[in-house]
Copies of this chain bind each other. A is one copy, B any other.
């Protein structure tokens, strides 16, 4: 199980990645993230909702009011151009992070432990 602290900072990237495939709404995003996370990770509702709010405030996604098939109101989120750019940026940062952290865990830090 991945702790929240471990994946902290990548919630935004996950949300934006999903929205890149098409508009969605918070509740569904949470379910999809948890589904993709499988046994390893499940996101909390509050975390996801505050994430989309944050992204909306930052102009990375845009919200539009819609309705669910049952007629109830539902807020749809769509990724903006700034959001797409942000995904690219964060993806690159993610690769850097992988490289750096791997340097530590693989012990390539110095010469190895004989």
Contact = CB atoms under 8 A, between A and B. Distances in A.
Interface residues of A, number: 37
Interface in A1-21: 2-3, 5-10, 13-14, 17-18, 20-21
B36 A105 contact: no
A19 to B, nearest CB: 11
Interface string A3-47: 101111110011001101100000000001000111011000000
Report whether over half of chain A's contact residues are helix, strand or loop; otherwise say mixed: helix
Contact of A110 (B2, B21, B105): B21
Interface in A56-114: 90-91, 93-94, 96-101, 103-105, 107, 109-110, 113
